[in-house]
Structure 1
Amino acid sequence: MQRTYQNPVYPDTMADPFVLKHEGMYYAYGTGPGGADGRQVPVLRSPDLVDWEPLGHALLPNGAKHYWAPEVAFHEGRFYMYYSSGSADEGTDQRLRVAVAGHPAGPFVDAGSVLVPDQPFSIDAHPYRHTDGQWYLFYCVDFLEESGEHLVGTGIVVDRLLDMTTLASAPRVVVRPHQDWHVFRKGRTMYGAVHDWHTVEGASVLVHGNQIYCFYSGGAWERENYGVSYVVADHPLGPYRLPEGGQEALLMRSRPGAVIGPGHNSFTTSPDGSQTWIVYHAWDVAQTTRRMCIDRLDWEDGRPVTAGPSCGPQAAPSSAAP
């Protein structure tokens, strides 16, 4: 009998979920409240992407107030957690950092430096290892000038990693806000001026048909316009091109009366490796909290598709035969 699951797959707050598959187990990291012991970043473990066990918190604090959007890469026996932290109440001073551990559940110890020191604001790091073995880091910074179709606001860039804690300091633009649905807040005071602020964030990369697909979440994270779309390139450093039909989120968007603001996703594979799954957060209709959800990702005529955000029973990720 086909096993099923139903979203959300974890009942508590788990925003910006990232899932690492390591030695047959899944580890999920997200934005959420810190632990009673002062540690940050909730971490969960699962054998199948459906049943999740909390393991406490993975990151030793660095003295900041807020910790956002962790992602973890495994390289040469060590685990590297990329995250942002800051102390301003409105979160406008977030800076990217990296912490290191010998186990996927931590404890992760901060490496002691800011990854992007020339930017006043940097968030949503996504480490990506290309097919040739080279590591890259996708992340977000702010853009204060309009340029062509580009709007003022938060956008995504990519840089090469010289090693797991050092960037080449030669970032290239991946995608900037360019659509009305990317609006975060009109009349927002930022950097001493008032802007109609737009946002694209939460990069996550897949390779399909020798093409690089950089998925992003656009809009306001607490509103119904938040959703997931993508851009495409031939190489991780770009240039990236816009697909047709970008007037709305192409992959996933709110379902009125059911799911609000699905986004900030990561990708992983089923236990048997045969399927791709998107892991994302979404609000319930009452907007109680952002919880972790999963849905299968498929490809049709070279375009990614998913039934998500789903809210009824779905076929569970496929497992290897016993």
Structure 2
Amino acid sequence: MKQVLFFLFVIFCSKTIAQNNNPIFKGWYADPEGIIFDKTYWVYPTFSARYEDQVFLDAFSSKDLVHWIKHPRILDTTAVKWAKKAIWAPSVIKNKNKYFLFFGANDIQSDKERGGIGIAVASKPQGPYKDYLGKPLVDKFYNGAQPIDQFVFKDKDGQYYLIYGGWKHCNIAKLKPDFTGFVPFEDKTVFKEITPENYVEGPFMFIRNNKYYFMWSEGGWTGPDYCVAYAVADSPLGPFKRIGKILEQDSKIANGAGHHSVIKHPDSDVYYIVYHRRPLTETNGNSRETCVEEMHFDENDFIKPVVITNEGVKAHSIK
């Protein structure tokens, strides 16, 4: 009888643990970018702390979206001499067998300050990453956009774009094949503004059924209005007309849900949204945790509102 009770207890505990997968790993982390490399899920977040303490980046990998391995300090300011603080919002992409990590640094407030968007490079997803250019890739306020919250997007034709911007402005620029700079558009401009209505920060883009889904965060990152909205267009240049919100806080679950990324499972039409939020018990703005939910589409290919949960997602490996 004791053995039976113990067996039932183990099953109960296993189910309970399996049903509470959010946050996906311990610690205060924000601005997560999720991506797949070599049949492995990777999440690259901001270390959520005071700006002066944000001098490094950790990464996390998983084979099934449930069990995660921490890769500490894949990049820190000792490898980037011009970066001093506020290492933010990493975006990692593979290009010609190298992994390039785009990051924001120093939270510059004007063109007179040193900092902006930089690039680090490594031979493995987990690094270690080293400064690629020896200087920022973008260090000025073009079209009013603070050079932060960078996302690297690869189009269907192989062209890489840098999409970025804070302070309610978003730019897009064509990257050179080796990421050493930019290729001007046909009209000879380098940075084109694609800012949609209510945009604040945190841009992300993906293609589904030949449509370009452009997503961003709205509201204040420490406030109850922080959320994710989106638009759809036929080109990465837009024009992007806001459709509506698809991710926001739930007063019964967590606050400040936003600054996200999207992962598509390669073997199916299953999409996941990776985002950060603040537990109900926390009042410090930097107390942010990384979570994952499934993201669904309706019969007209619009994104359905995402329900944030403590359960998170079930294990889903890649064949």
TM range, smaller chain: 0.7 to 0.9
Question: Hey, what does 1:48 align to over in structure 2?
Answer: 64
Separation in 2, partners of 1:47, 1:315:
13
Alignment partners' CA distance in 1, 2:140 and 2:183: 13
Q: CA RMSD in A?
A: 2.7
Q: Match for 1:110: what amino acid?
A: D
Farther off after superposition, 226-235 or 3-12: 3-12
Q: Which has the higher helix share?
A: 2
Offset, 1:269: 2.7
Cα–Cα, structure 1 residues 273 and 113, in superposed 2: closer, same or farther, change >3 Å?
farther
Alignment of 1:59-70 (within 5 A): 59-61=75-77, 62-63=80-81, 64-70=84-90
Report the equivalent of 1:302: 301
Aligned to 2:7: none
Please, what TM-score do these two structures have when normalized by structure 2?
Answer: 0.80
Within-5 A mapping of 1:5-16? 5-16=20-31
CA spacing shift, 1:304–1:94, aligned 2, 3 Å = farther
What residue ranges of structure 2 are gaps of 5+ in the alignment?
A: 1-10, 185-189
Counterparts of 1:22-171 in structure 2 under 5 Å?
22-32=37-47, 40-61=56-77, 62-63=80-81, 64-86=84-106, 95-111=116-132, 112-119=134-141, 121-141=146-166, 153-163=167-177, 164-168=179-183, 170-171=190-191
Contact 1:94–1:123 (8 Å) recurs in 2: no
Structure 1 position 260 matched with structure 2 position 255? yes
Partner letter of residue 240 of structure 2?
Y
Q: 1:123-272, aligned counterparts within 5 Å?
A: 123-141=148-166, 153-163=167-177, 164-168=179-183, 170-176=190-196, 178-179=197-198, 200-243=200-243, 246=244, 250-270=245-265, 272=267
| The structure with more radius of gyration | 2
Partner SS, residue 238 of structure 1 = coil
| Aligned residue identity for 1:47 | K
Alpha-carbon distance in structure 1 between the residues aligned to 2:48 and 2:22: 21
Residue number among 278, 285, 289 corresponding to 1:291 in the alignment: 289
Q: How many residues align?
A: 280
Specify the code of the residue in structure 2 equivalent to 1:96: I
What TM-score does the superposition give when structure 1 sets the normalisation length?
0.79
Q: Distance in 2 between matches of 1:114 and 1:40?
A: 17
State the AA in 2 paired with 1:66.
Answer: A
In the other structure, the counterpart of 2:274 is: 279
